[in-house]
Amino acid sequence: MKNIFGMNLDKDELDAKKIILRETDEGLSKQQDDMGEDLEQYAKKATLSGPLSVLLYISGLLMAICLYVTFVPDEPLWWFLLPAGVFGAITVVLVICGNVRRNRVVNSDEFQTALQRSERVAEEARICLGVPADAADIDVFGCAYKIKKGQVKQGIPGCEFINFSMWMFVEKDHLCLADVGAVYGIPLSSILRVVRTERKITFDDWNKDAPYNKEPYKAFKISKNNNTDILYMRGYCSVQFLLDGEECELVIPAYDIDPVLCATGLSLTEVV
DSSP code per residue over 41-68: HHHHHTS--HHHHHHHHHHHHHHHHHHH
Overall average pLDDT of the 54-79 stretch = 80
Q: Does the pLDDT value for residue 165 go beyond 80?
A: yes
Q: Are 147 and 2 in contact (CB under 8 A)?
A: no
Quote the CA–CA distance of 198 and 261 in Å, as a whole number: 18
Largest interatomic CA distance in the chain? 69
Confidence band (pLDDT; 50, 70, 90) for 38?
low
Model confidence at 42: pLDDT above 60: no
The reported pTM is 0.72
Q: Which helix (H) or strand (E) holds 231?
A: strand 230-243
Residues 215, 212, 194: CA angle, nearest 5 degrees: 90
**Does residue 152 contact residue 145 with C-beta atoms inside 8 Å?**
yes
Q: Alpha-carbon distance 177 to 19, whole Å?
A: 10
pLDDT in tens, 98-139: 787 777 767 777 767 766 777 777 778 888 889 999 999 999
User: What's the mean pLDDT when you consider all of the chain?
Assistant: 84
- Count CB atoms within 10 A of the CB of residue 121: 18
**If pLDDT is split at 50, 70 and 90, which confidence band does 55 have?**
confident
Q: End-to-end distance of the chain based on CA atoms, in angstroms? A: 15
Torsions phi, psi of 3, nearest 5? -75, 120
Strands 6-8 and 136-148: parallel
Query: Residue 24: pLDDT above 70?
Result: yes
Give residue 55's region: left, alpha or beta (phi > 0; psi -120 to 50).
alpha
Per-residue CA distances from 222 to 98, 131, 170, 213, 232 (Å): 22, 30, 29, 6, 6
Q: What is the pLDDT of residues 203-244, one digit of tens each?
A: 988 999 899 999 999 999 999 887 778 899 998 999 999 999
State residue 210's pLDDT score.
Answer: 93
pLDDT at 4 > cutoff 80: yes
Give the pairing of strands 270-271 and 191-203. Answer: parallel
- Residue scoring higher pLDDT (24 or 135): 135
Domain locations along the chain: 2-24+130-271, 46-109
Please state, in angstroms and rounded to a whole number, the distance separating the CA atoms of residues 205 and 229: 8
